[in-house]
Amino acid sequence: MVKRTRMTMAQALIKFLENQYIALDGFEERFVESVLGVFGHGCVVGLGEALEKRVNDIRFIQGHNEQGMAHIAIGFAKQNNRRKIIPCISSIGPGALNMVTACGTATANRIPLLVLPGDTFATRQPDPVLQQVEFPESYSTTVNDAFRSVCRYWDRVNRPEQLMTAMIHAMRVLTDPANTGAVCVALPQDVQGEAYDYPDYFFQKRVWHIERVPLTESQIERTVDLITASEKPLIVCGGGVRYSESGIELLRFAEDFNIPISETQAGKSCIRWDHPLNLGGVGVTGGKAANMIAKDADLIIGVGTRFSDFTTSSKWGFRNPNVKILSINICSFDAIKMDALPVIGDARISLHEIRKALKKRKYTTKYKDEIALAKQEWESQVDEFYSAEVTGTYMPQTRALGEINHFMRSKDVAVGSAGSLPGDMQRLFRPGQINTYHMEYGFSCMGYEINAAVGVKMADPNREVYAFLGDGSFLMLHSEIYTAIQEGIKINVMIFDNSGWGCIEDLQNSKGINTFGTVFNKRNPKSGELDGPIAEINFAKIAEGYSAKAYTITSVRELRRALKNAKQQTKTCVFDIKVMPKSMTPGFESWWRVGVAEVTKSKAGKEAYADMQKHIAEARDY
């Protein structure tokens, strides 16, 4: 006779979550220790009741914006190399929909995120309820169907016993390195409180094993044949190197055969920046060293990368007419991109086995001094950007970044996501220890930075965490500063205020378009246009309103003094750094394809369209 326990669906869900574990390389740890939530009528008497009773040991953390708290969860999961998550609970309607953007962020970046939005009544008896949107074409549709397009798995629990299959499949996706991303399990508010006699085995400790599957002999042979036929290959180190913890193996691979390494945003800091073979960022936001070597390489070896347009310079960056692509990836969907020879497997074990086979062939590249010269020239340029002279009222953005980078300890973590800073940081930033560079650039979601920094600090409480963001990103979402204050979490928020969306202004100007709608000007009463004086914002005062420690910074001296003072603080610090507009880094031997106007009266616009057509003709078609 199967032993059963009667409890509500919400109580069963919490009890199930607290018994989930993950195992890799013989190390086992709990997958869920906390939940984030913003309570409303769609969850407070269901999941809220289950959490309030404290029959479990899962800690509740109060969020203050549903998107913000979900980005906290993403930052936490990413910093934990996808082996821990924080589920996110919301009410119905607008509270639920606030998490859709975060789900897009998680899925684009292959980060596990479990969202548990409240839903309308399964019985439909009180309909339409408060915050319900009705869809005449299908009464079974609710706003939570919006999650379908941004989630790797979606379900709705319309009966309490459906929870069991829903959560088993949710965990299947959340713990799958090849297919992870956002998971949505919608929870009708009436069903949350309904009871069922759940079998006790549903609540037993469940260990989800991540296996390092070895390559087949035929895979190894094909891969070795392709590499040995190349003379000047280039490695592209992606986020999969980080999540599989294969940085050491990648470095051995590169050193044994003298293969230079380039980095994606997600792969940066897997290899020390100062290693002689590490040429730094590649692609649109890459540096000159990596992009020059990429231009002539006859083989691109992608490891754990999905070859986004920023990595490949919109498929234009690899310009050797005979170039081949090799892609080592756990996900077959990513491995075949760029018409690559796919090697489907864990990065660490794949590199190890391929390295052994290559050594038997006594392979080495034919690089001479190209790698060293390219790196030396580029690092000299980085030094120049970091020491840029202050000639106006405010610092150049690259000088401010350099001052902070020099000040940070080797174990401190840098967090970023959107605007011009990701370009400056991939090109210039010199991380300290391994995995201290945390950049979300799959979705480049403005507003991620502060929230993710809170998650990173929760994952690594003994490190200082610095969130790098522009004034535009700060205005998008900063409510979780309050969560940090509430939880006693210290993060350092570095706001680079250039009075607008600087990188987008730079983009429009580069395509022959005058500045329009990208600078934070006041409305001019005479012209009726947004061309009045700058609408200055005192971000330090906003931070003080949260009871954070705040600094207003207009000079190098003030920045240095503030950095030292912040080290003594125990609560969140916010730096309002006024920087010169248009003082970010330019592109280096790269191109980004955007939709340039085919018909325009602007001479510069016509030239931009002709330039786009020229690059398209030179780029790969797939």
Domains 217-374 and 387-499+536-578 agree in fold: yes
| Contact between residue 142 and residue 149 where contact means Cβ atoms under 8 Å apart | no
pLDDT grade for 622, boundaries at 50, 70 and 90: confident
Taking only the tens place, the pLDDT of each residue in 114-155 is: 999 999 999 999 999 999 999 999 999 999 999 999 999 999
The set of residues, in sequence order, having a beta carbon less than 8 Å from that of 362 and lying 6+ positions away, is none
| Contact between residue 92 and residue 39 where contact means Cβ atoms under 8 Å apart | no
Taking only the tens place, the pLDDT of each residue in 325-382 is: 999 999 999 999 999 999 999 999 999 999 999 999 999 999 999 999 999 999 999 9
The CATH classification number of 387-499+536-578 equals 3.40.50.970
Taking only the tens place, the pLDDT of each residue in 304-334 is: 999 999 999 999 999 999 999 999 999 999 9
Average pLDDT, the chain: 96
C-alpha closest to that of 238 among 306, 173, 185? 306
The pLDDT value recorded for residue 81 is: 97
Q: Is 343 exposed, middle or buried (0-12, 13-18, 19+ CB in 10 A)?
A: buried
Q: Where are the beta strands (DSSP E) in 120-240?
A: 153-156, 182-188, 195-199, 206-209, 233-237
Architecture in CATH of 4-209:
3-Layer(aba) Sandwich (3.40)
pLDDT grade for 54, boundaries at 50, 70 and 90: low
The mean per-residue pLDDT over the stretch 97-124 comes to 97
Taking only the tens place, the pLDDT of each residue in 488-502 is: 999 999 999 999 999
Task: Classify domain 217-374 at the CATH topology level.
Answer: Rossmann fold (3.40.50)
The pLDDT value recorded for residue 57 is: 84
Domain boundaries, the chain: 4-209, 217-374, 387-499+536-578
Burial 396-434 (b: 16+ CB within 10 A, else e): bbbbbbbbbbebbeeebbbbbbbbbbbbbbbbbbbbbee
